[in-house]
């Protein structure tokens, strides 16, 4: 029979996310500000989930309901495999007060990992190493620290001559001899819960705002004979906290660099990383080339051997293998293999572009299907339409999908030819408007009735030539 001490301690993770973030100058809670296509909080939740804790809690306060809603709606997309316990912080009086409110949750576990919700640059490897170092050393508290080139604004880690962590000193309270310390506190801690509970009872309000600081727990634990250790992060950029929009933009650059490096190591060509932007969840296949000015956002997936850009925006869309997209915008659409999109094309949501199709210069497609091998090469608007395979749509064609009250669809049969400047007008009486298989619509026609298979449709006045006066 194994003794209790031989058992791996159960781990609970607590993320502090109750702050308003006034320096963001925004109505949105700080931890919900997007970075790399996800809210800040999403990064911490994914990291915590990857550690496989026995419990995952989030302390909420400002706009609690919005935070709860965001997490519940996106849990699957963020890859959360376990439920999240929300703890409401009624007294917004510092990090210590937040953890005090979370004690009923934390008391279920032997070890608590406490994280700040505004540190999205932390990596799994670093947090995993922190937890393992804490367990290996059998310490009472282990904080994550880093050595930074410029420690301004951070709490400093004060050590003894033998390297033992003595305390954390906030910048406002630094002694002259402590000002040069460049080892700083990240705000991430591993605590043994029984000692944390005892230390929290001794916290007293500090400063003009009468706040309780979690850092003071370290000194209380040490006074009671507990050992405080610090685990150094391998890269100081990981511990960056975000308090304003300048820091948000700086962190965005870091995440973009990581995303591009991930893609390049997987076989994706990026010709100009400084002018290419990719969200954290974007997937790109090998031998695809991203040219300057490309922006890939959201849940976008791009297949292999594509050429994307220059200067294209693709959002929440899938692009099949061997496609080209140039100087175009694609949002909420599916583009199948070997398609040519652009230049200056707008593919709008709910559109599907079939294999080997082309949508070209200054054309717009909205909530429509373009069949295999069909062409909408230039200056056309295709809305609420179904175009079968091998259709040619002439320049300036418009499907008039909206009559001022309702939207109506247009169906164009396979191998049809739509002449330039044709206007296809489905009405409440004739909807969907059907252009038959192999039909021809003459250039400049206004079509308001069905066109049978193989027919030729003319919907324009006869030309008249009159002598000049």
- Residue 426: exposed, middle, or buried by beta-carbon count in 10 A (0-12, 13-18, 19+)? buried
Q: Do residues 259 and 240 touch, judged by C-beta distance below 8 A? A: no
Query: What is each CA distance from 259 to 121, 254, 256, 384, 389, in whole angstroms?
Result: 12, 9, 5, 36, 37
Q: How confident is the model at residue 119 (pLDDT cuts 50, 70, 90)?
A: very high
Last residue of a domain, which of 183, 215, 239?
239
Q: 165 and 298 in one domain?
A: no
Least confident span in 72-76, 282-286, 359-363, 364-368? 72-76
Q: Examine the domain organization and report whether 59 and 120 are in the same domain.
A: yes
Asked if 378 is an active-site residue, the reply is yes
Please check whether residue 44 lies inside any domain of the structure.
Answer: yes
Give how many domains the chain has, as a whole number: 2
DSSP designation for 275 = G
Segment 189-215 shows an average pLDDT of 87
Residues 47 and 19 occupy one common structural domain = yes
Residues 263 and 181 in one domain: no
Structure tokens at 115: 């994280």
Of the CA atoms within 13 Å of residue 392, those in its CB half-sphere come to: 11
Residue 337 is assigned to a structural domain of this protein: yes
**Does 211 have pLDDT greater than 90?**
no
How is residue 26 annotated by DSSP?
S
What pLDDT is recorded for position 7?
53
Question: Does 322 share its domain with 410?
Answer: yes
CA dihedral of 171, 174, 177, 178, whole degrees rounded to 10: -50
pLDDT exceeds cutoff 80 at 443 = yes
Most confident of 9-18, 298-307, 395-404: 298-307
The answer to whether residues 250 and 210 belong to one domain is no
Sign for the pseudo-dihedral over CA of 73, 76, 77, 83: positive
Last-in-domain residue among 182, 211, 239:
239
What string of DSSP letters covers 284-309? Answer: E-TT-EEPTT-EEETT-EE-TT-EE-
pLDDT band for position 153 (50/70/90)? confident
Which carries the bigger pLDDT value, residue 403 or residue 469?
403
- Whether 42 and 132 map to the same domain: the answer is yes
| One domain, residues 301 and 439 | yes
Give domain status of residue 343, yes or no.
Answer: yes
Same domain, 285 and 399: yes
Across-strand partners of 308? 290, 325
In this structure, the answer to whether residues 80 and 144 fall within a common structural domain is yes
Q: Is residue 22 part of a domain?
A: yes
Share of the chain above pLDDT 70, in %: 98
* Phi, psi (rounded to 5 degrees) for 188: -105, 130
Identify the active-site residue in 220, 231, 378, 408.
378
Judgement on whether residues 202 and 294 belong to the same structural domain of the protein: no
- Whether 276 contacts 294, CB under 8 Å: yes
> What is the pLDDT at residue 9?
61
Domain hosting 341: range is 245-457
Pick the last residue of a domain from 184, 214, 239.
239
Residue 465 within a domain: no
- pLDDT band at residue 4 using 50, 70 and 90 as cut-offs: very low
Specify the pLDDT at position 251: 96
CA 103 to centroid of chain Cα atoms = 31
The predicted-structure confidence for 122-133, as pLDDT tens digits, reads as follows: 999 999 999 999
Encoded tokens for 377: 């090469």
Helix (H, G, I), strand (E, B) or coil at 36: coil
Same domain? For 187 and 282 the reply is no
Domain containing 281 — which CATH number? Answer: 2.160.10.10
Within 10 angstroms of residue 429's Cβ, the number of other Cβ atoms is 8
Residue 231 has pLDDT above 90, yes or no: yes
Rounded distance between C-alpha atoms, residue 298 and residue 25, angstroms? 25
Verify cis geometry, omega within 30 degrees of 0, for the bond prior to 339: no
pLDDT of residue 338: 98
Confidence of residue 215 (pLDDT cuts 50, 70, 90): confident
Q: What is the mean pLDDT of residues 346-352?
A: 98
The full 3-state SS of 63-101, as one line of letters, equals: CHHHHHHHHHHHCCCCCCCCCCEEEECCCCCCHHHHHHH
* SS3 state of residue 267: coil
Q: Name the token pair of 441.
A: 């619509």
The tally of CA atoms less than 13 A away on the side-chain side of residue 135 is 17
Q: Name, in order, each residue with C-beta under 8 angstroms of 150's C-beta and a sequence gap of 6 or more.
A: none
Task: Report the range out of 75-79, 167-171, 442-446 with the highest average pLDDT.
Answer: 442-446
Q: Using CA atoms, how far apart are residues 153 and 147, in angstroms rounded to an integer?
A: 13
- The arithmetic mean of pLDDT across residues 362-372, rounded, is 98
The length of the chain is 469
Separation CA 326–CA 372 (nearest Å): 20
Residue 467 lies in a domain: no
Amino acid 5: pLDDT:
45
DSSP 147-181: E-S--TTSPEEEE-TTS-EEEEE-GGG--GGGTT-
Positive or negative CA dihedral for 166, 170, 174, 179? positive
CATH number at residue 38: 3.90.550.10
pLDDT for res 399: 97
Say if residues 384 and 366 touch (Cβ distance below 8 Å).
yes
Is 19 in contact with 61 (CB distance < 8 Å)? Answer: yes
Q: Return the H-helix or E-strand segment holding 377.
A: strand 375-378
Give the pLDDT band (50/70/90) at residue 272.
Answer: very high
Residue 307 and residue 290 in contact, taking contact as beta carbons nearer than 8 Å: no
Average predicted confidence (pLDDT) for the chain: 92
Tell me the backbone φ, ψ of residue 318, rounded to 5 degrees.
-115, 135
């Amino acid at each position: 029979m194994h003794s209790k001490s031989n058992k791996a301690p159960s781990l609970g993770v607590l993320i502090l996310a109750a702050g308003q973030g006034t320096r963001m100058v925004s109505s949105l809670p700080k931890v919900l500000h997007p970075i790399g296509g996800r809210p800040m909080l999403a990064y911490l939740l994914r990291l915590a989930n990857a550690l496989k804790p026995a419990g995952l809690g989030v302390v909420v306060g400002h706009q609690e309901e919005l935070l709860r809603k965001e997490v519940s709606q996106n849990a699957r997309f963020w890859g959360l495999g376990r439920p999240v316990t929300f703890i409401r912080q009624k007294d917004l009086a510092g990090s210590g007060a937040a953890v005090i409110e979370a004690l009923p949750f934390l008391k279920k576990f032997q070890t608590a990992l406490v994280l700040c919700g505004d540190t999205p640059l932390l990596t799994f490897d670093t947090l995993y190493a922190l937890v393992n170092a804490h367990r290996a050393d059998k310490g009472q508290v282990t904080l994550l620290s880093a050595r930074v080139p410029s420690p301004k604004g951070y709490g400093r880690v004060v050590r003894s001559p033998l390297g033992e962590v003595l305390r954390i000193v906030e910048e406002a309270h630094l002694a002259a001899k402590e000002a040069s310390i460049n080892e700083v506190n990240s705000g991430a801690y591993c605590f043994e819960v029984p000692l944390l509970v005892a230390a929290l009872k001794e916290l007293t309000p500090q400063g003009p705002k009468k706040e309780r600081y979690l850092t003071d727990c370290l000194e209380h634990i040490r006074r009671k004979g507990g050992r405080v250790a610090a685990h150094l992060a391998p890269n100081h950029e990981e511990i960056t906290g975000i308090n304003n929009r300048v820091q948000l933009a700086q962190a965005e650059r870091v995440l973009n660099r990581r995303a591009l490096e991930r893609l390049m190591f997987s076989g994706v060509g990026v010709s100009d990383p400084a002018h290419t932007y990719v969200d954290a969840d974007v997937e790109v296949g090998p031998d695809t080339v991203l040219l300057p000015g490309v922006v890939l956002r959201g849940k976008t997936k791009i297949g292999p051997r594509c050429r994307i850009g220059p200067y294209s925006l693709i959002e929440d869309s899938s692009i099949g293998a061997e496609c080209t997209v140039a100087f175009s915008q694609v949002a909420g659409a599916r583009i199948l293999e070997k398609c040519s999109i652009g230049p200056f094309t707008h593919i709008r949501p709910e559109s599907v572009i079939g294999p080997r199709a082309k949508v070209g210069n200054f054309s717009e497609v909205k909530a429509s299907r373009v069949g295999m091998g069909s062409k909408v090469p230039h200056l056309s608007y295709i809305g609420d339409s179904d175009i079968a395979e091998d259709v040619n749509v002439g320049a300036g064609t418009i499907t008039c999908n909206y009559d001022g009250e309702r939207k109506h669809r247009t169906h164009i049969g396979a191998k049809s030819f739509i002449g330039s400047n044709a206007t296809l007008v489905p009405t409440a009486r004739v909807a969907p408007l059907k252009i038959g298989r192999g039909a021809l619509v003459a250039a400049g026609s206004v079509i308001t009735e069905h066109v049978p298979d193989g027919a030729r449709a003319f919907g324009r006045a006869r030309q008249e030539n009159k002598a000049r006066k």
